[in-house]
Structure 1
Amino acid sequence: MREVTEEELKYVEFWENEYLQQIYYLLKLDKQKMLDGFNTKEEIKNDWVAYLGDNTSSFATGSERIFYWLFNQLGKPNSSPVGSDMFFETYNAYIHIDIKTVTLGNIGDFSRNIFVGDNQNSYIGNINVKNKPIRPYKGHLPTFYTKNDGTKKVCLTYFITILYNESNLDIQTIVIMCMPNGLLSKVYGDDIINPGKNPGKIRYAYPKSSMFKLLPDTPKRIKVLLWKKDINLKIEMKMKFIKEIYNEQID
């Protein structure tokens, strides 16, 4: 396999950043529409509240419906069974967007890293576990997709993570992040993939790849779409890294 040039790596990062901005501004423009969508559950609350807690993924399911609605103009949906919750094709890229929901009771699943499925990333590296042999890792997504006609399009991976109060479904923060394409493993190394709870699985240590290293002015790979104004101080301290990014945002 030939060596990937720095210009090719910069190309990947350029489009990772371009689509991160597009996703962020699309949602920011429709922020009230998004929040109104989240609140539609309240209109029929008496019909589901008795079952809250029986299925912890219920909030995730509802959130996915709202984002599908908001992203209907992002690109052409793709039906591949291997991919993220949302998978779109644009004129020059294939975009994976996975929605992740984390409760306050499990805030540790968000504060330092997030779970990433093999079908949700193209990263290539090594999982380093203390006092154990190094485990090679390769996500199931390609770094570039190749269509039947030979056309190649870069594979881009994004996560929208929602932290919410499981007792009342009150949203604390919504964060959009871009995980580096597998070709960029030579830039970001093994530090950004932490061992998951199960052997061979990973967690994405997003604070260790918080910037686009190859782009001018190193813009952030993370955008904070929402931060609750009266968030509990203990939560704010645990999410200090995200709060700092939120404070730095000028748009």
Structure 2
Amino acid sequence: MEHKEIEFWEHEYLKQIYYLLNIDKQKMLDGFNTKEDIRKDWQDFLGKETSDFATGSERIFYWLFNQFGVPNSSPIGSDMFFETYNAYVHIDIKTVTKKNIGDITKNIFVGDNQNSYIGHVKTRTYDDKYKGNLPTFYHKENGEVKICLTYFICILYNEENLDIQTIIITCMPNGELSEFYEPDTLNAGKNRGKVRYNYSKCKYFRLLDDQPLRTKVLIWSPESDDVKKRLSEIESIYLEQEESNL
């Protein structure tokens, strides 16, 4: 598969994921709000065994994606892992609180089992080679070969009242595309060996003629000017997305 074709399918599935969630946005929000019906039975325990609604939000996305493809049981992969007619699609859900807003402003943490990227992580003190644990292509026992695609749904919310501030969907480049995205893709994590996907520097599908956005904003609802200021990178993507939809 040629590099441009890889990007074509990355973009196609990004559009599918966005469309699926956008068309069912109210259904999704209603699903998030089901917790309010029984709040008195769980609110006293918030912060003890669970500090956010990550588990609850995952249940809602599993529900919304129930017909996206055939779930795969591989132990190496993202929260949601589907096989479609021509691809294996990883979709990981990440939740970030307003207190930790820096974890979404320009880049996001990604696990080795959630991406196929091959590149470098550079800091002032080291330059490490990096390779995600996912293959760039999956090879089935029957000889079929299917592309590996990686997406992240990132939710920023207020940890005090659990109100959603914004939701973005971003596509991390397949490892076969590394030569076109180095050195912009990876940032060092908090510890050596951990990485972050720098979505703000990988803003576009670079090989496609019209260079569409690699990140889509599903919900844009910052509760204050301070939060909006911290989310300036996401706002710029949101404004460009809205302009392209005119």
> Secondary structure at the residue paired with 1:23?
helix
> 1:234 maps to what in 2?
226
Kindly report the root-mean-square deviation, in angstroms, between the aligned alpha carbons of the 2 structures.
1.1
Aligned equivalent of 1:36: 30
Cα deviation for residue 104 of structure 1 reads 0.5
Q: CA deviation at 1:55?
A: 3.8
Tell me which amino acid in the other structure corresponds to 1:78.
N
Who is 1:217 aligned against? 210
Cα shift readout 1:197-236 (whole Å, capped 9, x = no counterpart): 12211001111101000001100001000011x6210110
Equivalent residue for 1:46, pick from 27, 32, 40: 40
Pick one of 120, 123, 130 that aligns with 1:137. Answer: 130
- The CA deviation at 1:241 is 1.0
Moved over 6 A (4+): none
- The separation in 1 between residues aligned to 2:84 and 2:41, in whole angstroms, is 39
1:164 Cα deviation from its structure 2 partner: 0.2
Number of residue pairs aligned between Structure 1 and Structure 2: 243
Long gaps (5+) in structure 1: 1-6
The 3-state SS of whatever aligns with 1:234 is helix
Per-residue displacement from partner, 1:130-166 (whole Å, max 9, x unpaired)? 123x111000000000000111000000000000000
Q: TM-score, length-normalised on structure 1?
A: 0.94
Counterpart of 1:162 (choices 127, 139, 155) is 155
How far apart, in 1, do the equivalents of 2:30 and 2:122 lie?
43
- State the Cα distance separating 1:244 from its structure 2 match: 1.5
* Structure 1 counterpart of 2:40, one-letter code: N
2:70 aligned partner: 76
Query: How far apart, CA to CA, are the structure 2 residues paired with 1:131 and 1:211?
Result: 29
CA distance in 1, matches of 2:44, 2:22: 33
Q: 1:70 to 1:233 in 2, by over 3 A?
A: same
Counterpart among 96, 99, 102 of residue 90 in structure 2 = 96
Describe the SS at the equivalent of 1:249. Answer: helix
For the pair 1:146 / 2:139, whether they are aligned, the reply is: yes
Flag structure 2 segments of 5+ consecutive residues without an equivalent. Answer: none
Percent identity, aligned pairs only, is 65
**2:58 alignment counterpart:** 64
- 2:49 and 2:97 map into 1 onto residues whose CA distance is 13
Deviation at 1:56, TM superposition (A): 4.6
Cα drift, residue 191 of structure 1: 2.1
